[in-house]
């Protein structure tokens, strides 16, 4: 009786796609994202211009920035954006590589699916290949580096910035980056820890990229609170306050009844006395610089200026914490608790004019655990791109110091892994072997894209690389030299990358590819229509 009657389980308007159609749709979306960023890979990669809904322009070569700025709609494509974000958080570099690898794995999987290899078999093969690839990376390709090996750290920073638009000033910036990361490196529980967040990057356009400077202390984007304050304070003793130097308004509405004019005067005098007490407390502690997270009343600023104390108000909480780490001071809440032991010390606090703005420099800290880099560049877009390059390089240098392992760049690591995995695939047996071979082939997408973006013949380059990594005279350090498109030794060319970048890129790529392959049913509810009277709706 019920035969032929459709049973509706899902809400009206729900779209459903099943089986191979769903998988093909997901793979196509993920590959579209990978193809979009593929052209930005490597030192010869092109830039993208992104215009957001407000009309603001971003010009960048950074994989994660591109994918964050582009509003991706498709759910499978969003998963690739997540890969880039994770790669950026963990390593800072290799975001484009991770996305390109994920796209390539899916492309190879599509071919296997057409041969009726089950998605679960493919994902299992990928997992086996990933484990083996990690083992090869650790035991055969990675080279240990000592923290004092400054030349290697600088090479890694230069490589990380190679694809960004800062080519001319790379060496100088790399030296700055290594100095900064070295400064904040600590030993904790027998492990080296580099918290890159302790490096404050301030940017100001005007000047050249080569004017970017490293400051052993903190730069605040603020000027002194009063024109009569000293412009410069030598041998500074700094009070760090996170409460306001103002008279608090009462929480509840309050009235003051005044019967004669002298009471007004005594009320004002009392207020004045309170302000005086605040300044006296600061002076008694021995401080000659005050940095406050909240506001400072104009009268207090006037009294501080009379005492020759330099004061800055409305400083961000994160900056105050960095100042505490840099100067060795303590952040104090109540001004009554302020004592000489809470003060931070710096050789100099001064106000300098950078471009159009005045900024406060706290320099000459004896052993700063927090430092600053002031980025300069011709235009705003240039300084933004320099800042992104620096962030990548800072994280890269930090991961080399933490892990102490580097491997050759220029596609050398990928080709070596590919060659080794191809040989190993035969020992896997079963249908998983096909997936391992597909994984090995996918790794070659990196040198392929590097050569292609450099304007060279990808096939010739790949053949040359394969033969250099095989045979009796095999050299695992041979990668693409983008100066002439030929195979060359990456250690000699000083193109080095942290092993962590490679490890994270292949792990993320395999995880996202496996996740997308295992989806065989997409159920998408209809988007709810805008409410009447709301944006896009009509109120009748």
Q: For each successive 10 residues of the chain (540 residues), what is the average pLDDT?
A: 64 75 86 88 85 85 83 85 86 87 92 90 93 89 80 85 70 85 80 81 83 84 86 87 78 78 80 82 85 86 86 88 86 82 85 84 81 85 84 87 86 90 88 92 91 89 89 83 84 87 91 88 70 51
356 and 222 in a single domain? The answer is: yes
Cα(first)–Cα(last) distance of the chain, in Å?
Answer: 46
The answer to whether 81 and 33 have CB atoms below 8 angstroms apart is: yes
Instruction: Give the model's pLDDT for residue 259.
Output: 80
Catalogue the active-site residues. 62, 95-96, 392
**Residue linked to tokens 């406060």:** 360
118 and 40 in a single domain? The answer is: yes
Instruction: Give the model's pLDDT for residue 439.
Output: 93
Q: Is residue 288 part of a domain?
A: yes
Q: For the chain, how are helix, strand and coil distributed in percent, rounded to 5?
A: 50, 20, 30
Residue-by-residue DSSP string for 359-377: EEEEE--SS-SSEEEEEEE
CA distance 463 to 209: 39
Taking each helix axis as running N to C, give the angle between helix 75-90 and helix 499-517, from 0 to 180 degrees, rounded to the nearest 10.
160
- For residue 517, give its domain range: 15-144+407-524
The residue among 340, 367, 394 that closes a domain is 367
Q: Is residue 90 part of a domain?
A: yes
Q: Is the pTM of this model over 0.75?
A: yes
- Bridge partner list, 311: 290
CATH number, domain at 505? 1.10.560.10
92 and 227 in a single domain? The answer is: no
137 and 235 in a single domain? The answer is: no
The answer to whether 344 and 367 have CB atoms below 8 angstroms apart is: no
Q: Is residue 458 part of a domain?
A: yes
Q: How many domains does the chain have?
A: 2
CATH number, domain at 355? 3.50.7.10
- Bridge partner list, 58: 50
Phi first, then psi: give them for residue 475, nearest 5 degrees. Answer: -130, 115
Q: Which pair of structure tokens corresponds to residue 210?
A: 């080569």
Instruction: Give the model's pLDDT for residue 253.
Output: 79
338 and 439 in a single domain? The answer is: no
Instruction: Give the model's pLDDT for residue 57.
Output: 87
Q: Is residue 161 part of a domain?
A: no
Instruction: Give the model's pLDDT for residue 334.
Output: 78
3-state secondary structure 161-182: HCCCCCHHHHHHHHHHHHHHHH
Q: Looking only at Cα atoms, what is the longest distance across the chain?
A: 104
With vertex at residue 167, the alpha carbon angle to CA 47 and CA 483, rounded to the nearest 5 degrees, is 90
**Nearest-CA neighbor of 502 among 30, 101, 41?**
101
Instruction: Give the model's pLDDT for residue 7.
Output: 63
Instruction: Give the model's pLDDT for residue 123.
Output: 92
């Amino acid at each position: 009786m019920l035969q032929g009657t459709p049973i509706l389980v899902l809400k009206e308007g729900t779209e459903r796609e099943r089986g191979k159609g769903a998988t093909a749709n997901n793979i196509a979306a993920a590959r579209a994202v990978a193809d979009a960023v593929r052209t930005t890979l490597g030192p010869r990669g092109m830039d993208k211009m992104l215009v957001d809904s407000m009309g603001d322009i971003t010009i960048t070569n950074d994989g994660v920035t591109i994918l964050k700025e582009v509003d991706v709609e498709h759910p499978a494509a969003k998963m690739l954006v997540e890969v880039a974000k994770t790669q950026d958080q963990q390593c800072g570099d290799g975001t484009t590589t991770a996305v390109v690898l994920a796209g390539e794995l899916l492309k190879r999987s599509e071919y296997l699916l057409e041969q009726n290899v089950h998605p679960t078999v493919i994902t299992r093969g990928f997992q086996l290949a990933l484990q083996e690839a990690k083992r090869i990376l650790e035991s055969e390709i990675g080279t240990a580096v000592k923290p004092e090996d400054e030349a290697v750290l600088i090479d890694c920073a230069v490589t990380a910035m190679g694809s960004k638009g800062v080519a001319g000033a790379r060496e100088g910036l790399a030296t700055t980056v290594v100095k900064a990361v070295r400064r904040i490196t600590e030993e904790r529980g027998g492990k080296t820890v580099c918290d890159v967040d302790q490096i404050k990057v301030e940017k100001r356009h005007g000047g050249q990229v080569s004017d970017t400077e490293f400051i052993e202390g903190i730069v605040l984007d603020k000027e002194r609170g009063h024109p009569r304050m000293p412009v410069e304070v030598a041998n500074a003793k700094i009070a760090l306050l996170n409460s306001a130097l103002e008279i608090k308004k009462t929480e509840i509405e309050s009235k003051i009844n005044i019967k004669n004019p002298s009471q007004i005067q005594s009320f004002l005098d009392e207020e004045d006395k309170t302000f005086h007490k605040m300044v006296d407390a600061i002076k008694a502690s021995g401080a000659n610089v005050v940095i406050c997270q909240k506001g400072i009343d104009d009268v207090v600023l006037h009294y501080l200026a009379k005492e020759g104390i330099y004061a800055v108000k409305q400083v961000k909480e994160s900056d105050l914490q960095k100042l505490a780490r840099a100067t060795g001071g303590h952040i104090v809440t109540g001004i009554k608790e302020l004592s000489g032991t809470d003060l931070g010390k710096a050789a100099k606090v001064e106000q300098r004019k950078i471009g159009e703005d005045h900024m406060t420099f706290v320099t000459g800290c004896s052993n700063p655990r927090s430092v600053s880099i002031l980025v300069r560049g011709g235009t705003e877009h240039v300084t933004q791109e320099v800042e992104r390059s620096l962030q990548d390089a800072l994280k890269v240098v930090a991961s080399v110091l933490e892990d102490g392992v580097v491997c050759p760049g220029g596609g050398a690591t990928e080709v070596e892994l590919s060659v080794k995995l191809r040989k190993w695939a035969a020992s896997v047996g079963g249908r998983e072997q096909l997936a391992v071979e597909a994984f090995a082939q996918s790794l070659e997408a990196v040198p392929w894209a590097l050569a292609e973006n450099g304007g060279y013949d990808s096939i010739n380059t790949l053949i040359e690389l394969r033969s250099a990594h095989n045979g009796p005279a095999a050299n695992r350090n041979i990668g693409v030299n983008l100066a002439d498109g030929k195979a060359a030794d990456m250690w000699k060319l000083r193109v080095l990358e942290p092993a962590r970048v490679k490890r994270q890129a292949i792990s993320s790529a395999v995880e996202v590819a496996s996740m997308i392959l295992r989806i065989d049913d997409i159920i998408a509810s209809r988007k709810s229509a805008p409410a009447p009277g709301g944006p896009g709706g009509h109120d009748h």
